[in-house]
Amino acid sequence: MLGGLFLAAGMILSGCKTPEPQGAKFNPRDNAKLAIVTNMSSVEVTNLIRPEWRQAPTNFYTLGPGDVLEIEIVNDVNSRAMTRIGPDGKVYFNLLPGLDVWGMTLQQAKERLEQELAKYVVSPQVALQLRGIDSKRVWLLGRVQKPGVYAMAAPMTVLESLSLAGGTMTTSLSGMTEELADLNHSFIIRNGERLPVDMASLIEKGDMSQNIYLQPDDFVYFPSSFSRDIYVLGNVRIPRAISRQQGGTLASAIAAAGGPNRNSYLSHVAIVRGSLSKPQIAVVNFEDIMKGKATDVLLEPRDIVYVPLSPYRYLTKYADLIVTTFVRAIAINEGARAGGATQPAGVSIGVVNFPTVPAPVLAR
């Protein structure tokens, strides 16, 4: 769900002996005890917002399973009834055996009801009201004041949805208002793809170009700013989140995830750092580290380590793959937890394992 988020640009690993400008590159081997001479190339991907995402949808509300309707045949007060559209998209009213209204507007449903009731009642006129919405929802989870699943009866922007949830959580214990949500790692998923919305720019800087309109079933997540976990993904035995104490270096983090699986491409292990909107990526030859030919790599809190099945060709596409895997794993787990699943269909970050997401083959 993220294919068009990044600009494809070929990047080649290069050695470097002088410090790089801040924000352009990072050196994962920057600890004095772990330092080696070669810096690893990094990439900042471009945040692309489609213009149409900032336009309010003009289509009318359509009915779906779970919506509650009040139906009445005019001049027959005894006919008034509240009915919920069933999982099959059908509504049951009066003498009707079951009328499919899934995907219809209220006006279309009204006309269809009158058409079908005419088989039993002379010239029926139907009054139809929408009394409850359950088929169009957005998910607002994580460090917000009122996390939950919210009905979406009308077009709604990111900020409007956030206001429904009471805004992000903050604290004033230090005497200053501090954000408890990690905006740099917050994200929106639509139809399985991460939308390139920069939450930090939107909420902290007021960049309204990021304030897109949401669609039904969009998933908005704000992780905790206190998280210090390191995430190990890809072709390892137990993809999971690792505590900073348990996985402070690349070797210890991968070991804590059960080690690499057979056929892993260990010379192209990646470390992704920074915000999800503008991540930085370094590619490390972990095979050399395992053989003692290279120094182990120091990791930072919230780093994403990815062990691939195959070599990458474009660094931006590699970053795309890693970020996609990360947000999907988070969304699967948090969505299952919010939905009350007894067996979460994903990971409990820091406790349970990430689901394995196969990596596409990237030509060298």
Q: Which CATH topology does 68-132 take? A: wza like fold (3.30.1950)
Other beta carbons within 10 Å of 98: 12
Is 68-132 in the same CATH topology as 52-57+136-222?
A: no
Strands (E) across the chain are located at 68-73, 81-84, 90-91, 99-100, 126-132, 137-142, 148-151, 170-171, 178-179, 187-190, 193-195, 219-222, 230-234, 240-242, 269-273, 280-284, 304-307
Other beta carbons within 10 Å of 82: 11
Q: So what's the pLDDT on residue 340?
A: 60
Q: So what's the pLDDT on residue 303?
A: 92
Q: How far apart are CA 84 and CA 131, in angstroms?
A: 9
Q: What residue spans define the domains of the chain? A: 52-57+136-222, 68-132
Q: So what's the pLDDT on residue 342?
A: 37
At residue 232, what are phi and psi to the nearest 5 degrees? Answer: -110, 120
Instruction: List, run by run, the mean pLDDT of 10-residue segments along the chain (364 residues).
Output: 33 34 46 45 66 88 93 91 94 91 94 93 93 92 93 92 93 74 94 91 93 94 91 93 83 94 92 87 90 88 93 86 90 75 34 35 30
Q: So what's the pLDDT on residue 3?
A: 36
Q: So what's the pLDDT on residue 111?
A: 95
At residue 5, what are phi and psi to the nearest 5 degrees? Answer: -75, -30
Q: So what's the pLDDT on residue 315?
A: 84
Q: Which CATH topology does 52-57+136-222 take? A: Outer membrane lipoprotein wza fold like (3.10.560)
pTM of the full structure: 0.75
Q: So what's the pLDDT on residue 26?
A: 53
Other beta carbons within 10 Å of 126: 21
Q: So what's the pLDDT on residue 17?
A: 35
